[in-house]
Structures are given as structure tokens and as C-alpha cells.
């Protein structure tokens, strides 16, 4: 049951038009009222010890019989016809009502303090201090699922009533009828009916193999990412809305035939129905040609000099680069499933009173109440698509790793230089089989540009790794990279200075000023794809010189600025 759905209540919608039945329900000894003050929910802070973990608030519930006696004729905000009927609560069969009580707030607060159910949750003598008015959207995640569902339903209905005052056809005032669930024009010649509004919105987890596309709204704090979402347009199917929103926000084209409904969630703030989808994006394929796979320049004695081996070109696929709609999204990126799995539980949704900054290079996802989180978690629970013939005894080599068995730093030290290699490891069938494109890097001894020795050590480490797992090794290329601070990003024109993403500069470390060893040039796109797998939050800059020419380009300009 999704968060914010009215779960335990029996809506008893068939009774809404039955005045006698609703009147009887309101007179039931157990009948309770969920009070709202000027549109905000009246809630109580619950005793942490007595509640379930993570639950800090409950609705400030009133027994209707505690307030009914003080009815004050037509002006009484608690008069029967001003109560909205939500249904019967499953746990005790109590009829549940909601009402706006601003005009008799003190009376209601006293009634809350007298309610044994509230006293039981808050503690005797502590109710007055525990009462507060809160926005239902922000307080909902800090309630039990059941309470949040009821509160959201009440908040949504009362808001609609507040905003539905006049007939759209004739301008006459409308009257709320049907226990709060319908408005009707009071003009007897018109009598136009109005019903609570529902706005469908699509929420899409776009995937491309083992990558998922997540975006950051321009209003969200840095590091907070979620699925792409948008409202359904008129005369548009849900599937069409998915394709349009993803294209508009990220520039990524999805295959409409892959759009799959997952589940939905009411999001009554004010009145959305979030409809969750998965959609698959075709990967971009790059064929690394024989010329690029040239291994003749590797050092003598390496095991990958067979001409037959590099006669076959290798194809590498990765997700298409998003192009942002800067009006809506501040950022959109692909995140590898392994990386997301490691991030899932690390940081709380900053909208839920987190307040702590999300560290550079990491992300936070929507909280447990959100459909987006459900979509991401469910996808992370599924096995990786790319599991090329592995057996439990011989896992495939990691796609990106440091050599020397050192753990890969989540955020590498700024201004530290690394030598890198892109290799293909061919595992024999007995060892699980499959061709694995992998990036290996290690920090340079002196901290600056790699020397011949740095490259030689890295080559030896790659060969040793291949030897350990019984794979044949093919060198696709290499060079050097440097992790930089957040001064510049690929999308510098839309990022502000606080963006603080890191910058990686890649170049062919061959010869020249820095004295590095000569290594084959590898397709920059392949390096980008591999590096992004381990460092999705880093903007990756590849100097133009690396790609063998072109002058005056932005990248080259930046390269000069950073002396690369």
C-alpha cells in the first residue's frame, strides 16, 4: 500500500449521499474528527518511546461527542453539514470526519486534550505542549502509514472545498454536499455539479541496461535526485506523457513500446495521482576499431600482442548523454545500479528535515514515503542485466577499480593525478566466460603527471590481475586523469558556483611535456562511460588535444587553463 493512500479506512462512499446514515455515524460514540486550522493539520507530537520507530506525529484527533454539545447554530464550524466524512476506521470501526475549525480552535484544542486516545499516545499532562499545526505534506512522512493516509485524504478534500466557492458556469456560490465530496451550484436554474479534482502525473524510472536516469529539479538542494516526473497533458495517454516528459526534461528518447506501468500513489498536495512507470532507453553503441585497439605500442613482453586477438573490434554500449531542459531540471544523470545500491541508505531525503548537506560526489533519494524511491529500490533489487556468464566462484572483474587491491575512493582527492588503462579481459568459459571492458587506475607516485614508471607499474598490475583470473588481456588505451575541484563543469552555463561537482581531466599520457609513457588512444566516450560508472556525480572533461586536434574548443580552452 503506497504511502498517503487511504489504507485502513472503509470509505463507505455509498453512504455519502445518505444523510440519515452519515448523521447516525456522526452520533456514534466512537466518531472522531481530524481538525484543520486554516488548511493546516492539527497534530500532536507523539511520545517517541511509545511509538513505532520513525513516527513522530499523529493527527490531533477529537471525539466528536466532546465538541458537539457546544454547537452554536448556523455559525458552528462543527455543524453536521460542515463535516466531511472520510469513512470507517478499520481498527475500531470509528467513523472518521474532517473539518476546518479555525473559528473554534481553542474549543477543539481542549477536546484534543480530553481525548483518551491522544493522551495514551502523548502522555498525560503533555498534550497541550504536544499540539501543533503542520502542513500535511511535510508532516505526513513523520506519521504512521495509516495516519498519513487519513490525514492526506482529509487535507486534500478540505483544500478542494476551500478552493471551490463559485460555479464555473454562472458564478453563483456553490454548496458542499454529499458529506463533503461534491459541490453543487446554489442557483436553482443551474445546479452544476463539481467533484474533487484529480491531476494525473507520470513518474518514470528510465533505465538503460544497468543505468538509471535521475534528475534534480532546480528547486531541490544539491545532491538530491529523483525520477523524472510531469503532469499528463489533455488528450494524451499516460504512455505518451511518459515519453514526452522524459524527452522534454532530459532530451533522452525512450522506446514507447518499453513503457511499463509499475504502480501508483496518491499525492494529495494538492491533488495529484502519481502514476509510476519504467521505460527503457536504447544504449549508444561505440565500436572500438582495430586501429584504436592497437596493441603494438605496448611494452615488449606483454601477453596481449597476438594479431588475431585485436583483429576483432569490440563494441561498447552506454546510455545516451542527457541534454537538459534548464527551465525544469537543474541536472540529469545516469547512475549505475551498483553505485545506486551503495547510495540508497546513506543520506536522508533533505526535504524531510534532513538539513545536513549531501557530500560532494554523493546523492540523496526521496524518502520511504515516495513512489520514486519505491521505483528505484525495486529496480536495485533486480539482478544486473550485464552478468556475462559469471559463476559464484569466479565473479567478473570489476568495471572500474584501483590496482594494488586498494579500495576505490568514493570521492578522490582533488588535484591528485592518476595513470589509467582501459583493458578488455577475456575470461575463458571455465572461469565464467565473457569479455569485460574495464578501467584500471592508480595514483601517481609523485602526485603529479604520471611518469614512465607509473605507467609501467599499472601495466604490470593489469597483467597480474588478468593472470589471477585466467583472462587474456587486451589493451584498449590509457593515459592520465586528474580529479579536480568544482570550479568548472560540462554544463557550466547552468551550474552555479555551489555546484561543487568534481572535474576529471583525461589525456593521453604519451610522451611530451609530462614525460609519460606512450599508450594507445582510447575512444573518449568509452572512458567517459567507464568513469561515470564509478563517479556519476563528476563532470568529465576531456581536453581537445586528447582527441587528436581541433583548436579553440571549450574543452581545449579549459585544458589550457588547467595546463593539461
Beta strand residue intervals within 351-470, DSSP E: 400-402, 416-427, 434-443
Nearer to Zn ion, 166 or 231 (CB): 166
The only residue of 103, 169, 175, 260 in contact with Zn ion, by rule CB under 5 A: 169
Pattern 394-413, Zn ion, x by CB under 5 A = --------------------
The C-alpha atoms of residue 250 and residue 487 are separated, in whole angstroms, by: 24
Omega before residue 16 within 30° of 0, cis? no
The C-alpha atoms of residue 178 and residue 141 are separated, in whole angstroms, by: 30
The C-alpha atoms of residue 189 and residue 204 are separated, in whole angstroms, by: 45
Pattern 177-206, Zn ion, x by CB under 5 A = --------x-x--x-x--------------
Q: How far is the CB of 172 from Zn ion (least distance, A)?
A: 5
Nearer to Zn ion, 171 or 353 (CB): 171
Q: How far is the CB of 100 from Zn ion (least distance, A)?
A: 23
Could you give the C-alpha distances from 405 to 398, 453, 465, 518, in angstroms and in order? 12, 19, 10, 25
Q: Is 73 left (phi over 0), alpha (psi -120 to 50) or beta?
A: left
User: For Zn ion, which stretch binds (CB under 5 A), given 161-169, 412-420, 435-443, 522-530?
Assistant: 161-169
Nearer to Zn ion, 194 or 562 (CB): 194
Q: How far is the CB of 195 from Zn ion (least distance, A)?
A: 15
Q: How far is the CB of 163 from Zn ion (least distance, A)?
A: 16
- Contact indicator for 41, 198 with CB cutoff of 8 Å: no
Centroid of chain to Cα 405:
32
Nearer to Zn ion, 188 or 234 (CB): 188
Residue 198: count other Cβ atoms within 10 Å of its Cβ.
12
The C-alpha atoms of residue 261 and residue 200 are separated, in whole angstroms, by: 14
The C-alpha atoms of residue 190 and residue 168 are separated, in whole angstroms, by: 11
User: For Zn ion, which stretch binds (CB under 5 A), given 16-24, 160-168, 340-348, 363-371?
Assistant: 160-168
Nearer to Zn ion, 169 or 406 (CB): 169
Q: How far is the CB of 191 from Zn ion (least distance, A)?
A: 7
The C-alpha atoms of residue 131 and residue 59 are separated, in whole angstroms, by: 9
Nearer to Zn ion, 170 or 326 (CB): 170
Q: How far is the CB of 260 from Zn ion (least distance, A)?
A: 43
Q: How far is the CB of 181 from Zn ion (least distance, A)?
A: 19
The C-alpha atoms of residue 270 and residue 518 are separated, in whole angstroms, by: 61
Tell me the three-class secondary structure of 9-60, residue by residue.
EECCHHHCCCHHHHHHHHHCCCCEEEEEECCEEEEEECCHHHCCCCCCEEEC
Q: How far is the CB of 186 from Zn ion (least distance, A)?
A: 8
Nearer to Zn ion, 188 or 429 (CB): 188
Pattern 120-159, Zn ion, x by CB under 5 A = ----------------------------------------
* Residue indicated by cell numbers 604519451: 510
The only residue of 23, 170, 253, 291 in contact with Zn ion, by rule CB under 5 A: 170
Which residues, 75 to 114, sit near Zn ion by CB under 5 A?
none
Under the rule (CB under 5 A), what is the footprint of Zn ion? Answer: 167, 169-170, 172, 185, 187, 190, 192
Amino acid at each position: 500500500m503506497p504511502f498517503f493512500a487511504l489504507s485502513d479506512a472503509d470509505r463507505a462512499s455509498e453512504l455519502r449521499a445518505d444523510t440519515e446514515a452519515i448523521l447516525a455515524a456522526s452520533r456514534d460514540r466512537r466518531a472522531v474528527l481530524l481538525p484543520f486550522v486554516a488548511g493546516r493539520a492539527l497534530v500532536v507530537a507523539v511520545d517517541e518511546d511509545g511509538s513505532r520507530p520513525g513516527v513522530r506525529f499523529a493527527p490531533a484527533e477529537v471525539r466528536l461527542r466532546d465538541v458537539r454539545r457546544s454547537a452554536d447554530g448556523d455559525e458552528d464550524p462543527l455543524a453536521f453539514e460542515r463535516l466531511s466524512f472520510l469513512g470507517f476506521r478499520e481498527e475500531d470501526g470509528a467513523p472518521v470526519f474532517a473539518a476546518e475549525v479555525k473559528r473554534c480552535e481553542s474549543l477543539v484544542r481542549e477536546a484534543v486534550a480530553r481525548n483518551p486516545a491522544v493522551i495514551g499516545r502523548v502522555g498525560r499532562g503533555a498534550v497541550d505542549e504536544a499540539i501543533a499545526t503542520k502542513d500535511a505534506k511535510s508532516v505526513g512522512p513523520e506519521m504512521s502509514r495509516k495516519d498519513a493516509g487519513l490525514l492526506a485524504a482529509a487535507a486534500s478534500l478540505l483544500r478542494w472545498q476551500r478552493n471551490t466557492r463559485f460555479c464555473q458556469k454562472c458564478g453563483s456560490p456553490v454548496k458542499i454536499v454529499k458529506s463533503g465530496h461534491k459541490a453543487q451550484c446554489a442557483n436553482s436554474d443551474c445546479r452544476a455539479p463539481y467533484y474533487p479534482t484529480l491531476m494525473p502525473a507520470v513518474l518514470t524510472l528510465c533505465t538503460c541496461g544497468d543505468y538509471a536516469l535521475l534528475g534534480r529539479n532546480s528547486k531541490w538542494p544539491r545532491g538530491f535526485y529523483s525520477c523524472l516526473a510531469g503532469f499528463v497533458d489533455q488528450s494524451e495517454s499516460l504512455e505518451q506523457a511518459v515519453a514526452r516528459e522524459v524527452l522534454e526534461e532530459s532530451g533522452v528518447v525512450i522506446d514507447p513500446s518499453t513503457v511499463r506501468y509499475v504502480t501508483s500513489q496518491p499525492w494529495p498536495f494538492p491533488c495529484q495521482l502519481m502514476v509510476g512507470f519504467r521505460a527503457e532507453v536504447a544504449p549508444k553503441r561505440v565500436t572500438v576499431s582495430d586501429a584504436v585497439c592497437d596493441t603494438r605500442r605496448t611494452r615488449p613482453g606483454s601477453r596481449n600482442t597476438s594479431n588475431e586477438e585485436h583483429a576483432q573490434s569490440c563494441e561498447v554500449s552506454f546510455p545516451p548523454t542527457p541534454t537538459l531542459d534548464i527551465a525544469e531540471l537543474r541536472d540529469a544523470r545516469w547512475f549505475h545500479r551498483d553505485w545506486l545500491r551503495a547510495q540508497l541508505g546513506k543520506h536522508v531525503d533533505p526535504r524531510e528535515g534532513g538539513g545536513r548537506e549531501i557530500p560532494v560526489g554523493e546523492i540523496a533519494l526521496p524518502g520511504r514515503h515516495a513512489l520514486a524511491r519505491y521505483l528505484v529500490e525495486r529496480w536495485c533489487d533486480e539482478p544486473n542485466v550485464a552478468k556475462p556468464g559469471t559463476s559464484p566462484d569466479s565473479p567478473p572483474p570489476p568495471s572500474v577499480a584501483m590496482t594494488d587491491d586498494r579500495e576505490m575512493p568514493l570521492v578522490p582527492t582533488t588535484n591528485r593525478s592518476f595513470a589509467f588503462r582501459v583493458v578488455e579481459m577475456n575470461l575463458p568459459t571455465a572461469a565464467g566466460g565473457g569479455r569485460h571492458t574495464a578501467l584500471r587506475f592508480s595514483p601517481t607516485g609523485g602526485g603529479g603527471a604520471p611518469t614512465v614508471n607509473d605507467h609501467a607499474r599499472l601495466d604490470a598490475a593489469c597483467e597480474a590481475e588478468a593472470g589471477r583470473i585466467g583472462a587474456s588481456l587486451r589493451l584498449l588505451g590509457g593515459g592520465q586523469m586528474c580529479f579536480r575541484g568544482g570550479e568548472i563543469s560540462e554544463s557550466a552555463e547552468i551550474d552555479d558556483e555551489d555546484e561543487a561537482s568534481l572535474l576529471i581531466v583525461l589525456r593521453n599520457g604519451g610522451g611530451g611535456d609530462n614525460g609519460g609513457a606512450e599508450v594507445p588512444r582510447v575512444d573518449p566516450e568509452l572512458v567517459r562511460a567507464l568513469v561515470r560508472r564509478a563517479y556519476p556525480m563528476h563532470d568529465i572533461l576531456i581536453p581537445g588535444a586528447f582527441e587528436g586536434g581541433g583548436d579553440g574548443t571549450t574543452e581545449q580552452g579549459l585544458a589550457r587553463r588547467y595546463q593539461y
